[in-house]
Amino acid sequence: MSGCVFCKIAAGEIPATIVKKGNGIIAFTDMNPQAPTHLLIIPTIHIGSLNDAKDPGLLGNLLAFARELAKEQKIDARGYRVVVNTNPDGGQTVFHLHLHLLGGRVMNWPPG
């Protein structure tokens, strides 16, 4: 979708540090990291938010991709958090579906 920053990253039109690609999914480092490991996992096709994701298979693939990445980043054993902020109350600021993969420190609960 034109004007979508994550579509532009997926198309290689703006730079990002891509850490993994495959199966219609890419992962790259967050430009404003909130943890020692903070990656964003997105479908390469534009989907605005979790509310708009009609394909449960894609959602499963995104989650499996996050789990694989956690293993590759060696944060799987100590633990990590996967977050999907959705719409304004959920804290979503970029309206292209993405999973945050956070790790490398102890996470707090409840979240802010």
Which spans of this chain sit near Zn ion (rule: CB under 5 A)?
1, 4, 6-7, 46, 96
- Site track 26-65 with ligand 5GP (rule: CB under 6 A), x = hit: --xxxxx-------x-------------------------
Q: Nearer to ligand 5GP by C-beta: 77 or 102?
A: 102
Q: How far apart are CA 96 and CA 67, in angstroms?
A: 20
Asked if 91 is part of the footprint of ligand 5GP (rule: CB under 6 A), the reply reads yes
